Amino acid sequence: MASSLTYESQKLGTWYFTVAAILFGAQLLFGLLAAIQFLYPSFLFEILDFSITRIVHINALVVWLLYAMIGSVYFIMPDETGIETVGVGIAKLLFGVLTLAVTIVVVVYIFVQTGPADEMTLYFITQGREYIEAPLWADLGIVVVALGFVANVWLTCVKGERTGIMTVMMADVLALAGIYLAGIFYTDNISMDQYWWWWVIHLWVEATWEVFVACLAGYGLIKVLGASRQIVEMWLWIEVAMLFGSGILGIGHHYFWIGTPEYWWEIGALFSALEPVPLIGMFVHVLYDWGKEAGHAAAEGKKHEISNTPAFSWFVVNTFGNFIGAGIWGFMHTLPQINLYTHGTQWPAAHGHLAFYGAYATILIGMFYMGVQRKNGIKYLRATFASKMGVFLTTFGVLGMTMALTASAYQQTIIERAQWGATWEGYFAAQESVWMIQGYGWRLAMGVVTFVGFLYLIKDLLTTSKDPRHVRD
């Protein structure tokens, strides 16, 4: 079937979505391998060690989210500005450069894995820094791609119409590209290196990414529910205002134990759990107004339908997954009096699984469905059995992993920190605890459930356009 997309920029957005979905599957597969290795450390030993499966699992997560984010911007920009993206030809070239670089890095991770402890390893194999292990050549390539992306966004917004959503997006993509620079160059002092490393890990994820998600949620609610742009953009500006407290100063909760001044204890503790508040406020406000309008329409004998029910389902999961995963599960172990005991245990892993899924993956999967709807010229995209199973099993699986890791974290904290006082003996005693092992087992089982949900999701994305129940333009 011929594509109904009229803008090259939106076609490019679907390219990014496709690669993102592939990397999403790779992330889940390598996560399952790592979960198996937690229970059976000899599994694939000296073939694909845990250190490698973990690197690929985490980096595939970060990269597929970035692909989906960039694709989402290229997808929504023509709608918001009213014009084709400036430099779309260059954007397609940069897509190819980025995809080639990512492929080479993954191949090196899997087949080369390690190198000598010298500059060559940093430049060509891995920097060995958690979450940003990419070798320096790939980092520099990412910077080039990011600068081209930022230039396209700015030039398009300056030339075309500029909505509130795109005004916020202009500032956010600038920060998104700029903050990455803080983590490129390695320093010998571990405290200094960690100080700047957290700028990438925290200010990317808990500041610029949160604002990015709010922009996409606003666009999605306008398109799917017909939400008031005035309400959406009001909450978007509240999100930006809170960024200066929750997103920027909230970095302090990562500075507790790396040699930074103690005033970060209070700053980090105070501002750590506020990021998801504006997003849930936007969603509840929009949903309340939509309910009133639907009631008025029903009274007049008219329909007030959701134009894309699968996307809306993912937006709902995003709103509450963000609040619970990033907010509640993050704050559970963030106060310094608690973090003293939970730091370095499975608590951050439990929080990370639910937060990344709830805050970011879900909104971007919703954008996948927006792309499928637009590409196939569907006016009302209905939920199918596969779409329902995709959202249910994936969400249930991630919640299950989170609860399993939380149980393991509680046991680990009691044994390793409270009873043994953070000693090596305490670490091994905790790892051998039956409750820890059972938690790891349930994490693996729930990971399988998540992967089955992913398979339903991919099946639906590939086949839903053929469903006769959809209403086409």
Nearest to 350 by CA among 250, 275, 443: 443
The answer to whether the CB of 124 falls within 8 A of the CB of 112 is no
Please state, for a pLDDT cut of 70, what percent of the chain lies above it.
93
219 with 148, same domain: the answer is no
State which amino acid sits at residue 447: G
The answer to whether the CB of 343 falls within 8 A of the CB of 256 is yes
User: CA-CA distance, 249 to 257, in Å (whole number)?
Assistant: 16
Query: Is residue 392 very low, low, confident or very high in pLDDT (cuts 50, 70, 90)?
Result: very high
Q: Is the pLDDT of residue 196 over 90?
A: no
Give the pair of three-digit tokens for residue 371. Answer: 């792309």
234 with 288, same domain: the answer is yes
Final residue belonging to a domain, choices 251, 283, 304: 304
Nearest to 399 by CA among 470, 452, 351, 458: 351
Would you list the DSSP string of 12-61? HHHHHHHHHHHHHHHHHHHHHHHHHHHH-TTTTTTTS-HHHHHHHHHHHH
The answer to whether the CB of 34 falls within 8 A of the CB of 50 is yes
Domain assignment of residue 188, yes or no: no
Domain assignment of residue 198, yes or no: no
- The pLDDT assigned to 458 comes to 97
Q: Is the pLDDT of residue 117 over 70?
A: yes
Domain assignment of residue 407, yes or no: yes
User: CA-CA distance, 33 to 469, in Å (whole number)?
Assistant: 39
Residue listed under structure tokens 């090596």: 424
What is the per-residue pLDDT across 315-374, written as a single tens digit (0 to 9) for each?
Answer: 989 888 888 888 889 888 888 888 889 988 999 999 999 999 998 999 999 999 999 999
Instruction: Give residue 346's domain range.
Output: 306-473
The torsion of the CA quartet 413, 416, 421, 423, rounded to 10 degrees, works out to: -140
Helices (H), 300-383: 309-321, 329-331, 336-342, 347-356, 362-375
298 with 388, same domain: the answer is no
Query: Is residue 400 very low, low, confident or very high in pLDDT (cuts 50, 70, 90)?
Result: very high
214 with 258, same domain: the answer is yes
Domain assignment of residue 279, yes or no: yes
Encode 8-23: b = buried (16+ Cβ within 10 Å), e = exposed. Answer: bbbbbbbbbbebbbeb
Final residue belonging to a domain, choices 114, 144, 171: 171
The one-character DSSP state at 379 is E
Final residue belonging to a domain, choices 304, 332, 366: 304
282 with 314, same domain: the answer is no
Give the pair of three-digit tokens for residue 21. Answer: 């979905």
Query: Is residue 120 very low, low, confident or very high in pLDDT (cuts 50, 70, 90)?
Result: confident
Q: Is the pLDDT of residue 449 over 70?
A: yes
Backbone angles phi, psi at 472, to 5 degrees: -100, 155
- The pLDDT assigned to 36 comes to 96
322 with 456, same domain: the answer is yes
435 with 472, same domain: the answer is yes
Domain assignment of residue 185, yes or no: no
SS3 content of the chain, % helix, strand, coil (to 5): 75, 0, 20
312 with 297, same domain: the answer is no
User: CA-CA distance, 76 to 424, in Å (whole number)?
Assistant: 52
Report the 10 Å Cβ neighbour count for 409.
23
Domain assignment of residue 183, yes or no: no
- The pLDDT assigned to 298 comes to 64
Phi-psi region of 130 (alpha: psi -120 to 50; beta: other; left: phi over 0): beta
- The pLDDT assigned to 20 comes to 97
- Top-confidence residue, 126 or 149: 149
Domain assignment of residue 176, yes or no: no
- The pLDDT assigned to 296 comes to 63
Domain assignment of residue 2, yes or no: no
334 with 440, same domain: the answer is yes
Give the pair of three-digit tokens for residue 96. Answer: 């190819």
Radius of gyration of the chain (CA): 22
102 with 46, same domain: the answer is yes
How many structural domains is the chain composed of? 3
- The pLDDT assigned to 426 comes to 92
User: CA-CA distance, 27 to 45, in Å (whole number)?
Assistant: 20
63 with 126, same domain: the answer is yes
pTM for the full predicted model: 0.93
35 with 100, same domain: the answer is yes
- Top-confidence residue, 236 or 217: 217
CATH number for 344: 1.20.210.10
- Top-confidence residue, 297 or 12: 12
Q: Is the pLDDT of residue 258 over 80?
A: yes
The answer to whether the CB of 412 falls within 8 A of the CB of 346 is yes
- The pLDDT assigned to 469 comes to 73
- The pLDDT assigned to 354 comes to 94
Q: Is the pLDDT of residue 1 over 60?
A: no
Encode 246-263: b = buried (16+ Cβ within 10 Å), e = exposed. Answer: bbebbbbbbbbeeebeee
In this prediction, residues 194-222 reach a mean pLDDT of 85
User: CA-CA distance, 434 to 436, in Å (whole number)?
Assistant: 5
